[in-house]
Structures are given as C-alpha cells and as structure tokens.
Structure 1
Amino acid sequence: MLPRADAPNLPDDAPRILLFTGKGGVGKTTCAAATALHAARAGYKTLVLSSDPAHSLADALDCDLGPEARTVAPNLYAQEVDLYYSMRKYWGSMRELMLTVFRWQGVEQVAAEELAALPGMNEGSVLLWLEQAAREDDYDLIVVDSAPTGETLTLLTLPQVTRWWLANAFPFQKWAFKSVGFGVRKTTGIPLDKGYDELEAIFDKLERVRALLSDRAVTSIRLVMNPEKMVIQEARRAYTYLQLYDYGVDSVIVNRVLPTDDIPDGSFFHRYVTAQRDYLEEIERSFAPLPVLRVPHQGAEVFGMERLAPLAEGLYDGRAPTDVFFDEPTYVVEERDDTYEVRIRLPFADTATVSAQQFGDELVVQVANQRRNYTLPNFLRYYTLTRSFWRDGWLHARFAAA
C-alpha cells in the first residue's frame, strides 16, 4: 500500500471510495474506469469494482476480468463481482442453509438454487467485497462502477432491509434454529447452525460498510448523466433519495457534451445542440450548488487505456479525482410530530422572491424569475404543503397529512 504521505487527500484510516451511478447507457462505466486509471497513474493504488450485473467494465478497460481483483495496469486493479461465485467461495454454509429451507418447503432443486440468492444479494455481494477491500486496507482508492440508479438505491439501503429479512424469513427463533441446526449437522452433515452464523456475520459486515459509505470524508457519490430530458429527471429523483438517506453526492458529471461552436443553422445537429444547451442550463440550475463536470463527446467509442486517459484529464481538469468536491447537505427531510419539513439549500436567494407550490410528487420553487422542480419522496404525495418560508439560506416547506 502507498504511504499516506504520497496520497495527501486520503483519510488516514480508510481508502477513499467513489461510487458512480446514473441511468443505464449514460456512460457511468466509462467515467468510473477513466477515473480509476487517472488516479492509478497519479500514484494511487486503485481498485475499480463493477456491481452492474450486465458488466461492461471489461469492455471499457479492453481487457479480460474475473470475479476477483486482477492487475490491469500499474497501480490499477479491476473486478467484476459475480454473485454465484461469491456465494460458492465465501458463503457455502449460508447457501446450504437456504437450499435446505427451500427444500423443506417443497421447492425443486433448480428453483431452490436461484432462490438461495437472497433478495438484493447481488448488491450485497458487492458491498461485502467492498468491505473486505476496505478492511484489509489494501487500496488508496476504490471506485465502484454501480448498477443503474434504481439498483444503486437498493444497494445503499440493503443493510437496513436485510436485518428485517433475517428476522422474518425463518419460522424459528434464533436459539431454536441453532439448536435444531446443530442436531441436523451432527446427523446429516448439513451445516444449518453454521449457515445461520454465517448469515448474521454477513449482515454485520453490511452494517459496517453502510457506515463507511455514509461517511462523507470517505465516500462520494458522483451522478453521471447526459443532457437529455428523461436522464435528467431520473438523476433528480436519485439525488433526492440519496440526500434523503444522507449519502454524500459531491458532483454531477454530464457526459457526451457536443461542441456548440460552428454548428450551422438547419444542419443535422443544430436542433440537438440547441436542445442540449437548454438542458445544460437546466442541469446547472437543478443541481446547484453541486459542481457540474462536463465531459466533451470524444467523437469515437471510448475503450482501452489510451482513450480513457484523455477523457479523465478533461473531466477533472487538473483536480485530483480523490478530492471531495462538495460536502454540504442540500436537501433534508425531517419528521416533526405529525408533520414533515423539507429543507432545501438556496444560499443566494432573497426571501421576497422565493415561493413554493406542490404538484403531486414535485415541489416547484420559484426564485425571482427562475423556477426549479424538486422531486419529493413518494410518501409526501399523500401530504399537503401547508407553509413555506426562506431563512438563513434554506427554503423550509412544511407538509401535513391531507
């Protein structure tokens, strides 16, 4: 491992973690791979980890990858997580436990093999590999090429969900299960009690990695998007929920930005470039005060080390990719007795020019002649906006049951 003196921006007791997410097809794998390569060439021992079941990291790096980390360039290691490989290698007792439970319930062998993968376990296996890499303190930087946005939210909320699953999935109390399991193991060799212990140990690791991911000094999430309407909408929604769960989003990356100069009127690209210019302005407004990093369209497919390197240089423009680009909450939801308050950071607004209205699951905020739409958590559509006011750089919006 590199000494921390050679990596001054990194925490002393944990590797830096960068998680890239966005709608499928926006280029998050390319941005993640380029960032990892850029950091490795700057001297950071870097692991890039793919959590997307439809892996494309090997294509981006233009090399063969497997279910365990392998060296792909100096200081750079890469891995495409495979659920069933992980279960067979590390969680064999748990797998036998799950298979046995389903067989007792009359499930056929092939179906039982599929069901033995817990809900969300693909995301969970990524978190467990991440926890292992962080615990062994073997890397300066871990870059996670996450699955599309919805799966990323599943990944980040998995530790809370799996505790409930463990408590409700089995028809036995813990002590009874382990006692019965010990007897079963003695007579049949099926390690039910060990499987239960293994399952609990997994969930303990998930809790530890959740704490790591929610530490803004350690982990930053970077939202990747294209300047297109549906992509922006999904990114807004993802940002709302990431803020709701208090995860640190430190920047927005806009990928595949076409040049706007020298596009003649009436040309094939003129309408697209005009729309793109409007969407870029909307992104700046929607995600302010987050930094918005633009990646120019490269004019060709981006794969392999030599094409990834210039993309990263343009993306970070002299900044270290390991830096925390932004570390302030901008969107907070709090329960207050029987009501909820949504607070949105509007640092430069004038109280006389701020107003807010609710439309379904959106809060529409008017600041002078600018309008911004904020996606609310789904449950707030059943509440009514009763009051809004601006104070000390924040818009406060109060919601009560309809």
Structure 2
Amino acid sequence: MALILTFLGKGGTGRTTVAIAAAKQLSSFGQRVLLVEQDPGPALEILLGASIGPDPQEIGANLQAVQLQTTLLLERSWEDVKRLEAQYLRSPTLKNVYGQELGVLPGMDSALALNAIREYENSGKYDVIIYDGSGDQATLRMLGMPEILSWYFRRFRQVFIDSDLGKAISPFIQPVTSAILNVSWTGDNLAQQPTNEANQLLDKGKSAIADPNRVASYLVTNEDAAAIATAKYLWGGAQQIGLTVGGVILNQASVIDTLAAEFVPLAVSALPKQSAPGDWEPLMDALPDFKQAVQAPRPISIDTGNRQVRLFLPSFDKKQVKLTQYGPEVTIEAGDQRRNVLLPPSLSGQPVKGAKFQDGYLTISF
C-alpha cells in the first residue's frame, strides 16, 4: 500500500514547490514515488524542467510524474461504465455513446482524479503518491467523497425501501429482473445489490482516509495573515472529512516561533527560499519526516466504554460548530462541511445526553 500525501493552503504559498521537493526527497530515500499534478497548466513542467504527460513517466531515479487530463480520464472511465452496464443488462443502451464526445461537467475533475489515484495505488508500483491538487476546499471535498457517497447510498436505499413506490413494485421486481437483467433480485435486495461493489469500494476509501499511514496532508503557509488564516481554516475542514493533518510547512518564512503558536499541537517546519531554479537540496533537507503524521491528533475517536465520541475541530469556536442527531447517526457541521458519524452498535440509536466544545475538541456523550 502506498502512502498518499497532499498539501493544503492558500494559492501562492508554494504548494507545488513543496510537493516537488517532497517527491525528490522521498525518491532519494529509495522510495518509489509518483507525483500527480491536477493543474493542466505549464507550471509543473517549468519547475521540473521536464515534459510531463497524461500517463506516468520517469523523471528521475525512483521518481515518476503524471499530469492528469480530465477529458482523457473521462473517456477511459466511460468505457468502464459501459462494461459495467453490459455486465447487468442483456441489452446495453450506452454502447452507442462514446467517451470521446463527452464534455466535462463541474465536479468531474475531482471524482476522476480520486479514481485515478486509487488506480495508481492499486497498481502496487509506488510506495508514495504525492497529489498536487488545488489544496483548498475542493481537495477536501474530493477526499471526503467516499464517506459522503456511502452516506447517500445508505440513507436513500432505506428511503426507497420504506417508500410507497418501493413497496408497490416489490412483487414485480424478481420477474422483471430475471427477464431483463442477468441477475435475479428481489424487493429485499433491489436497493442494495447494484451498489454492493460500490459500497465495498467506498468502505476501502473511508478506511484509507482515516489511516494516517495511508493518507495524510500537510498545511503550507507563509507569513501572510491571509495565508495563515486559510491554513487554519483548512486544518479544521480536514478533520471534518477524517483526514489527518500531519504538520505545517512554513515556506520562505524567517520567524517560526510566533507562527508555530498558531498551529499547536502540530509540528512546524520552516523551508528556506530557493536560491536558484533547480536547487532543491536545501528544501529537501528542511522537510519534515512525513511518516510522523501518525503522531498528529486524530480527527475522531470513539470510546464505547465511556459512551463518548470525540472530534478534533481546531480553528473553530463554539459558535461555528453545530450538532444534530437523526436516528442512528449524529451530524456535525463546521467550516462549510457536514460529517455524519455512523455510531457503533452499542451507541446506535442512543440519544445525545450532552456535548462540550473545549480546546478544539467536541466531546459528545450518550
């Protein structure tokens, strides 16, 4: 399994420079590294001094790079969709729609990038995958996609089963699916069977995001007040999707002690200014040990013995955090993000008895 690293921060703070330095540092340690660039612009090629294509290519010892092209990813994914349709339908309907003619809709970039990263990780070719994305709320929504989609599947599957429509068509499902599809479903599994494979995929994604040994992020900022505020905001937002923030990288800053106090308890690493294009050694030497992300505060912990759920929500105050409960789950809203916490069996269905927000932690008691 590869370690997936990404960097969060305001535009202009040097996230791409940090990503390149990290890729070069880790590859120099003998690890097989893939640098994944989301931005189709020329910045990465200029910084690397190499031509980068839509498929991984060697740019150094143990180091490959790829520049994602959404149109090409969409075309390839469409072929997978058609294969999936042919697996279930005896008379596929999408065979005459071609990936080469599909346009890119908002949100496709993130979904396709996440799938590409998953495929690179599954290939077993890499020890580390560094994703250089937008580094903002869009990146957080992308990495939070497995948990959000699994909630939608779970919630609306039950809504369908309980609806009048679901109850009305239930007697007809088995004969219809036998006649049209290659499988035989009943009313009990109609809403579940087609999404089993997707749910398994999403569960793997959620497990990966929750494990800092597999996925971790680092904040990148400089001395600019807006950059610091943005980094703190993204820190709190990352916790809402279960993503561990391993530390802070202070780029081209001379005063570290004052800024370090803004991000307690995270470790802060200061990077010097690049003296000349292509001089990566000083930056590589100043980077943190990315394996130490496991020591950072975990976004969520569940203590069934004390009947408590504890969430780490730094950079927010009490007024910015909202807690609601619907059925077996609790919903936490903060930083324009909502997180639905699926409770373990011992707490599921139990009403919230109290909640306290103190020192960046929300403690919910049942």
For normalisation by structure 1, the TM-score amounts to 0.60
CA–CA distance in structure 1, aligned partners of residues 320 and 125 of structure 2:
44
| Residue pair 1:67, 1:80 contacting (<8 A) in 2 also | yes
Q: Which residue of 2 aligns with 1:127?
A: 114
CA–CA distance in structure 2, aligned partners of residues 207 and 200 of structure 1:
10
The partner residue of 1:63 within 33, 50, 57 is 50
CA RMSD across the alignment: 4.6
1:152 aligns to 2:139 (yes or no): yes
| Residue pair 1:128, 1:202 contacting (<8 A) in 2 also | no
Q: Which residue of 2 aligns with 1:84?
A: 71
CA–CA distance in structure 2, aligned partners of residues 70 and 315 of structure 1:
25
Q: Which residue of 2 aligns with 1:361?
A: 320
1:47-104 deviation line (CA, Å, top 9, x unaligned): 1112345563323212111111111111110011112101212432537999xxxxx9
Aligned-residue identity in percent: 21
| SS of corresponding position for 2:252 | strand
| Residue pair 2:6, 2:135 contacting (<8 A) in 1 also | no
1:310 aligns to 2:282 (yes or no): yes
Measured after TM superposition, the shift of residue 146 of structure 1 is: 2.2
Q: Which residue of 1 aligns with 2:261?
A: 285
| SS of corresponding position for 1:253 | strand
Q: Select between 64-73 and 243-252 the one with higher mean Cα deviation.
A: 243-252
Measured after TM superposition, the shift of residue 291 of structure 1 is: 0.9
| Residue pair 1:330, 1:344 contacting (<8 A) in 2 also | no
- Matched to 1:313, the amino acid is D
Q: 1:55/1:246 Cα in 2 relative to 1: closer, same or farther (>3 Å)?
A: farther
CA–CA distance in structure 1, aligned partners of residues 261 and 225 of structure 2:
14
Measured after TM superposition, the shift of residue 309 of structure 1 is: 3.2
Measured after TM superposition, the shift of residue 125 of structure 1 is: 1.8
Q: Which residue of 2 aligns with 1:254?
A: 250
**How many residues of Structure 1 are paired with residues of Structure 2 in the alignment?**
302
Q: Which residue of 1 aligns with 2:26?
A: 39
1:113 aligns to 2:102 (yes or no): yes
| Residue pair 1:70, 1:77 contacting (<8 A) in 2 also | yes
| Residue pair 2:236, 2:335 contacting (<8 A) in 1 also | yes
Q: 1:298/1:164 Cα in 2 relative to 1: closer, same or farther (>3 Å)?
A: same
CA–CA distance in structure 1, aligned partners of residues 357 and 43 of structure 2:
45
Measured after TM superposition, the shift of residue 210 of structure 1 is: 3.5
Measured after TM superposition, the shift of residue 127 of structure 1 is: 1.9
CA–CA distance in structure 2, aligned partners of residues 149 and 244 of structure 1:
14
CA–CA distance in structure 1, aligned partners of residues 42 and 152 of structure 2:
27
Q: Which residue of 2 aligns with 1:11?
A: none
CA–CA distance in structure 1, aligned partners of residues 137 and 179 of structure 2:
39
Measured after TM superposition, the shift of residue 312 of structure 1 is: 1.2
CA–CA distance in structure 2, aligned partners of residues 51 and 179 of structure 1:
43
Q: 1:395/1:71 Cα in 2 relative to 1: closer, same or farther (>3 Å)?
A: closer
| Residue pair 2:8, 2:234 contacting (<8 A) in 1 also | no
1:216 aligns to 2:212 (yes or no): yes
CA–CA distance in structure 2, aligned partners of residues 61 and 178 of structure 1:
54
CA–CA distance in structure 1, aligned partners of residues 309 and 210 of structure 2:
23
Measured after TM superposition, the shift of residue 396 of structure 1 is: 5.8
1:26 aligns to 2:26 (yes or no): no
| SS of corresponding position for 1:91 | helix
Q: Which residue of 2 aligns with 1:269?
A: none
CA–CA distance in structure 2, aligned partners of residues 312 and 156 of structure 1:
26
CA–CA distance in structure 2, aligned partners of residues 93 and 228 of structure 1:
45
CA–CA distance in structure 2, aligned partners of residues 16 and 54 of structure 1:
26
CA–CA distance in structure 1, aligned partners of residues 44 and 116 of structure 2:
16
Q: Which residue of 2 aligns with 1:243?
A: 239
| SS of corresponding position for 1:224 | strand
1:183-229 deviation line (CA, Å, top 9, x unaligned): 9xxxxxxxxxxxxx8x9867754542332232112222111111111
Measured after TM superposition, the shift of residue 124 of structure 1 is: 1.9
| SS of corresponding position for 2:144 | helix
CA–CA distance in structure 2, aligned partners of residues 239 and 72 of structure 1:
32
CA–CA distance in structure 1, aligned partners of residues 233 and 8 of structure 2:
12
CA–CA distance in structure 2, aligned partners of residues 285 and 343 of structure 1:
17
CA–CA distance in structure 2, aligned partners of residues 53 and 179 of structure 1:
46
Q: Which residue of 1 aligns with 2:295?
A: 327
CA–CA distance in structure 1, aligned partners of residues 109 and 41 of structure 2:
12
CA–CA distance in structure 2, aligned partners of residues 95 and 56 of structure 1:
35
CA–CA distance in structure 2, aligned partners of residues 165 and 58 of structure 1:
39
Extract unaligned runs of 5+ from structure 2: 86-92, 157-164, 183-193, 303-307, 323-332, 339-353
CA–CA distance in structure 2, aligned partners of residues 151 and 357 of structure 1:
23
1:343-390 deviation line (CA, Å, top 9, x unaligned): 679xxxxxxxxxx975x5389xxxxxxxxxxx954589xxxx99666x
Q: Which residue of 1 aligns with 2:274?
A: 298
Q: 1:96/1:15 Cα in 2 relative to 1: closer, same or farther (>3 Å)?
A: closer
| Residue pair 2:221, 2:249 contacting (<8 A) in 1 also | yes
For normalisation by structure 2, the TM-score amounts to 0.66
CA–CA distance in structure 2, aligned partners of residues 244 and 78 of structure 1:
30
| Residue pair 1:252, 1:293 contacting (<8 A) in 2 also | yes
